[in-house]
DNA sequence: GTTAGCACTCTATTAGTTCGAGTGCTAAGA
DNA sequence: TCTTAGCACTCGAACTAATAGAGTGCTAAC
């Protein structure tokens, strides 16, 4: 158990280290507001805090830096929220000023602004496109043997794939196929599309469309390949600004992991509620053991739509980022809900 | 003027430095095949080459490294082409194995493979989308007040924009508008689209579509914004692998410049014919003064479609990259021409 | 023109010093 | 019992020598 004074010292130490990136000594601490004891007393307390695992030394006669446990205690118990500065709000709101109607564009821009404001890297996960509902399907022949399939969803997202068709295909057959597809598949989610395609339309196609087999096969194949990743990054290069990262090898591993889409689920815990903080080795990925990740989700109406993550060093400005993400999450939820409430 | 022996020494020195990244001394050179003189003779020749500006020393008693002029002479006169290894060819050809029909996908994958093969960063510029020809236009209403405009081009590229429409718009008016647009604008290039839209369709719309004004204005506006950059990167992080780049500040500037789309024209000289090599400060951008960039263009039929660039340190394996890019350029031209020859 | 020989230069590495910030401990004071 | 002044001690950072080694330029002989 920690005494009042120990809590204060821990908080001030973490705050100072976050700000200065230098180990904090007992003498410095005596100068901090709120601290009245002498340096000797502070030293005793620091030794105690170290004994309990909240602080560490970089070498025998150095000042203290927070341990992972120290950061964890700090964010769990010592973090006092901070109102978001008006200036930041103005910049964040600018995303909505220009009447951009596309969710993707809004999210992309938000990622950029977040990274600018924080000097860290931001990762925004957009709405799961598999939940989108088919609004219209069409097939546009390009040249003999080649056509492009287009799916428009209710959110205005457009998926398109080029696929091959029999060279001597009758155009009216394509038209028939498009009609059948639209009749049967509007209102289906992209997630269900593949199954429903087979169940609902294959029999109909067989009846009405000549050579449906070849056409159907390549069309179905084209829709199989997942595309359009809905992950947006801001300030990937901000990692290079952090004095905490000097080992080029580590930077490379870290950027590698973030760039590669397949690790996104490990960075952004999908489905988690509210704001989450992962410090150092609490992250699933070894390459991120020197990082902290703060994530928050946002939603449209009652449905969770995506998440926002800020990746920075363990020595991250937790207070600022937490308030900022809280604000962005609710703001984004509100605006996106407003944008789509009419549907 | 350089003697035979000086040429040999220059070539061997550059080759060795490219391979080892270490200044090359007279003693090492005596061990190279083809070199018979003693180290003292080599020293005289090295001094002469330095006097003429082809070589440099890092300090008074160091070995020599190539100067910018030295690299330039090397690539202009001493580069003997190297057949592309079968292994590399296999990997490059894999792009076309999977019957991917989309130009964009082919280019994207090529970028990845090129960076993997070279360990440098690759930048591929796709066909200028403004040259694409409109194949079909459509407007899909999403919700009252919102619709998405879709343009399909002859190459299978699909552009889409969300735009606002009057809330009480008659659906049949939208249909009429789409018909007029398609009647008048199919066959027009994206580049001309904006002008032709106004010249050809405005009068017709006025006659047939109620409330054409509001609809037309937001539609036109949506098409104005340029989107879909056709630049693809491979191995952006490979810069971090190069021992030549150790200054984190410089790396950041370099990556910054490459990431930012607006500098692309300065990196990739558009419209240049054949293979181009820019060494160090021959590059337009200050951030790239320690880099060399090798570019080559590729075409579909007789028309230049895009360019490929490899960005590496000045100490780049010019021989290998030049042969590789020569191969890729002609291969890509051939395959893309084949893909589109039918149109 | 070529080369052996040699003095010289400069870097990189290692070891030794000093300085200062910071610690832990002890003992005296509240 | 808690607090604090005092002091010896530790360790890193910054600086100074000292040394080894790779490489050069120059001279003189071949």
Q: Under an 8 A CB cutoff, do A150 and B154 touch?
A: no
In terms of pLDDT, which residue wins out, A272 or A282? A282
Nucleotides of D under 7 A from a protein CB: 3-6, 9-12, 21-27
- Residue range A272-278: average pLDDT? 89
Q: Under an 8 A CB cutoff, do A144 and B342 touch?
A: yes
Here the tokens at position A275 are 């704001």
Query: Among A215-224, B11-20, B287-296, where is mean pLDDT lowest?
Result: A215-224
The proportion of chain B whose per-residue pLDDT surpasses 70, expressed as a percent, equals: 97
pLDDT > 80? residue B98? no
Place of tokens 């170290």: A50
DSSP letter assigned to residue B287: G
Q: In Å, how far is B10's CA from the nearest CA of chain A?
A: 33
Instruction: Please tell me whether any atom of strand D lies within 7 Å of the Cβ of B50.
Output: yes
Here the tokens at position B3 are 């003697």
In a 10 Å sphere around its CB, with 0-12 CB exposed, 13-18 middle and 19+ buried, how is residue B254 labelled? buried
Q: For B208-262, write each residue's pLDDT tens digit.
A: 877 788 778 888 877 776 666 789 999 999 999 999 998 888 999 999 999 888 8
Task: Give B 248-267 residues with CB within 8 A of chain A.
Answer: 248, 251-252, 255-256, 259
Here the tokens at position A215 are 């056409």
Residue A89, Cβ neighbours under 10 Å: how many? 15
- Confidence at residue B136, expressed as pLDDT on a 0 to 100 scale: 94
CB–CB of A328/A114 below 8 Å?
A: yes
Q: What CATH fold (topology level) applies to the domain A4-78?
A: Arc Repressor Mutant, subunit A (1.10.10)
- pLDDT band per the 50, 70, 90 thresholds, residue A343: very low
Instruction: Please tell me whether any atom of strand C lies within 7 Å of the Cβ of A62.
Output: yes
Report how far residue B236's alpha carbon sits from residue B209's, in angstroms, rounded to the nearest whole number: 50
The H-assigned helical ranges of chain B are: 4-20, 26-30, 39-51, 68-73, 86-97, 103-118, 171-185, 190-196, 202-208, 212-224, 248-259, 264-267, 318-340
Contacts of A59 (CB under 8 A, 6+ apart): none
CA angle A157, A160, A164 (to 5 degrees): 165
List A307's β-bridge partners, or say none: A125, A297
**Sheet of B231-234, strand order:** B231-234, B121-125, B303-313, B291-300, B276-279
Taken in order B27, B33, B36, B42, is the CA torsion positive or negative?
Answer: negative
In terms of pLDDT, which residue wins out, A149 or A225? A149
- pLDDT band per the 50, 70, 90 thresholds, residue A341: low
Instruction: Locate CATH 3.30.450.40 in chain A.
Output: 86-127+231-340
Residue A138, Cβ neighbours under 10 Å: how many? 21
- Confidence at residue A113, expressed as pLDDT on a 0 to 100 scale: 97
List B150's β-bridge partners, or say none: B138, B160
Instruction: Locate CATH 3.30.390.10 in chain B.
Output: 130-224
Q: For B141-165, write each residue's pLDDT tens digit.
A: 988 888 999 999 988 888 888 888 8
Residue B124, Cβ neighbours under 10 Å: how many? 26
Q: In Å, how far is B32's CA from the nearest CA of chain A?
A: 33
- Residue range A189-216: average pLDDT? 83
Place of tokens 């992950």: A231
> Comparing C-alpha atoms, which of A269, A320, A267 is closest to residue A291?
A267
CB–CB of A103/A155 below 8 Å?
A: yes
B101: contact with A, CB 8 A cutoff: yes
- Confidence at residue B281, expressed as pLDDT on a 0 to 100 scale: 96
CB–CB of B125/B234 below 8 Å?
A: no
What is the separation of C-alpha B143 from the centre of its chain, rounded to a whole number of angstroms? Answer: 40
Report how far residue A127's alpha carbon sits from residue A1's, in angstroms, rounded to the nearest whole number: 43
- Nearest residue in chain B measured CA to CA from A227: B105
Statement: A86-127+231-340 belongs to CATH 3.30.450.40: yes
Instruction: Locate CATH 3.30.450.40 in chain B.
Output: 86-128+231-340
CB-nearest partner of B162 from A156, A161, A252? A156
- pLDDT band per the 50, 70, 90 thresholds, residue A105: confident
Here the tokens at position A122 are 């931001």
> Comparing C-alpha atoms, which of B240, B265, B243, B275 is closest to residue B254?
B240
pLDDT > 90? residue A102? no
| Whole-prediction pTM | 0.90
> Comparing C-alpha atoms, which of B334, B264, B260 is closest to residue B298?
B334
Q: What kind and span of H or E run contains A246?
A: none
- Confidence at residue A199, expressed as pLDDT on a 0 to 100 scale: 85
Mutation pick from A116, A132, A162 vs chain B, by most beta carbons of B within 10 Å, is: A162
> In Å, what is the CA distance from B147 to each residue of A102, A132, A153?
11, 16, 11
What is the separation of C-alpha B167 from the centre of its chain, rounded to a whole number of angstroms? Answer: 44
A224: contact with B, CB 8 A cutoff: no
Q: Under an 8 A CB cutoff, do A146 and B248 touch?
A: no
What residues in B contact A155, CB-CB < 8 Å? Answer: 142
> Comparing C-alpha atoms, which of B75, B120, B80 is closest to residue B309?
B120
In this structure, chain A runs to a length of: 343
Residues 210-249 (B) near nucleic chain D, CB < 7 A: none
> Comparing C-alpha atoms, which of B115, B119, B94, B118 is closest to residue B106?
B94
The C1' atom of D26 and the CA atom of A12 lie apart, in whole Å, by 67
Nucleotides of C under 7 A from a protein CB: 2-5, 8-11, 20-26
Instruction: Locate CATH 1.10.10.10 in chain B.
Output: 4-78
The H-assigned helical ranges of A119-189 are: 171-185
Query: Among A187-201, A255-269, B21-35, B212-226, where is mean pLDDT lowest?
Result: B212-226
> Comparing C-alpha atoms, which of B153, B76, B71, B18 is closest to residue A142?
B153
Q: Under an 8 A CB cutoff, do A163 and B101 touch?
A: yes
- Residue range A36-52: average pLDDT? 96
What residues in A contact B155, CB-CB < 8 Å? Answer: 142
The C1' atom of C15 and the CA atom of A65 lie apart, in whole Å, by 31
DSSP B8-22: HHHHHHHHHHHHH-S
- Residue range B86-114: average pLDDT? 89
Report how far residue B126's alpha carbon sits from residue A281's, in angstroms, rounded to the nearest whole number: 41
Q: What b/e string do you get for A225-249 counting C-beta neighbours within 10 Å, with b at 16 or more?
A: eeeeebbbbbbbbbbbebebbeebe
Crossing angle of the two packed helices B4-20 and B39-51, in degrees rounded to 10 = 90
Report how far residue A149's alpha carbon sits from residue B202's, in angstroms, rounded to the nearest whole number: 30
- pLDDT band per the 50, 70, 90 thresholds, residue A107: very high
Q: What CATH fold (topology level) applies to the domain B86-128+231-340?
A: Beta-Lactamase (3.30.450)
B182: contact with A, CB 8 A cutoff: no
- At the top level of CATH, the class of B130-224 is alpha beta
Supply φ then ψ for residue A59, to 5 degrees: -155, 170
The C1' atom of D23 and the CA atom of B244 lie apart, in whole Å, by 22
Report how far residue B320's alpha carbon sits from residue B80's, in angstroms, rounded to the nearest whole number: 10
Report how far residue A235's alpha carbon sits from residue A237's, in angstroms, rounded to the nearest whole number: 5
Residue nearest the C1' of D22 (CA based) = B62
Q: What is the dihedral of CA B250, B251, B257, B261, to 10 degrees?
A: -170
> Comparing C-alpha atoms, which of B162, B158, B168, B174 is closest to residue B216?
B174
């Amino acid at each position: 158990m920690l005494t009042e004074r120990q809590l204060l010292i821990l908080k001030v130490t973490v705050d100072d280290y976050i700000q200065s990136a230098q180990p904090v000594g007992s003498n410095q601490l005596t100068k901090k507001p709120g601290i009245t004891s002498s340096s000797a007393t502070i030293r005793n307390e620091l030794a105690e805090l170290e004994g309990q695992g909240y602080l560490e030394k970089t070498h025998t006669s150095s000042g203290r830096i927070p341990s992972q446990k120290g950061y964890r205690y700090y964010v769990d118990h010592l973090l006092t929220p901070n109102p978001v500065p008006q200036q930041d709000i103005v910049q964040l709101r600018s995303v909505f000023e220009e009447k951009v109607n596309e969710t993707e564009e809004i999210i992309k821009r938000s990622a950029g602004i977040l990274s600018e404001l924080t000097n860290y890297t931001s990762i925004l996960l957009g709405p799961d496109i598999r939940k989108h509902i088919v609004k219209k399907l069409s097939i546009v022949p390009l040249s003999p043997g080649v056509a492009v399939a287009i799916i428009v969803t209710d959110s205005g997202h457009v998926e398109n794939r080029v696929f091959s068709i029999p060279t001597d295909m009758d155009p009216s057959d394509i038209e028939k196929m498009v009609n059948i597809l639209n009749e049967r598949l509007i209102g289906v989610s992209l997630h269900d599309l593949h199954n429903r395609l087979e169940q609902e339309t294959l029999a109909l196609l067989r009846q009405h469309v000549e050579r449906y087999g070849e056409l159907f096969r390549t069309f179905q194949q084209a829709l199989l390949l997942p595309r359009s990743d809905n992950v947006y990054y801001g300030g990937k290069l901000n990692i290079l600004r952090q004095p905490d990262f000097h080992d080029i090898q580590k930077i490379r591993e870290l950027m590698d992991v973030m760039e590669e889409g397949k690790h996104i689920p490990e960075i952004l815990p999908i489905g988690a509620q509210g704001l989450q903080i992962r410090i150092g080795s609490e992250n699933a990925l070894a390459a991120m053991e020197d990082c902290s990740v703060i994530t928050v989700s946002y939603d449209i109406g009652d449905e969770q739509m995506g998440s926002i993550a800020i990746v920075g060093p363990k020595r991250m400005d937790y207070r600022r980022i937490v308030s900022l993400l809280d604000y962005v999450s609710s703001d984004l939820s509100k605006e996106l809900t407003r944008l789509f409430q009419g549907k």
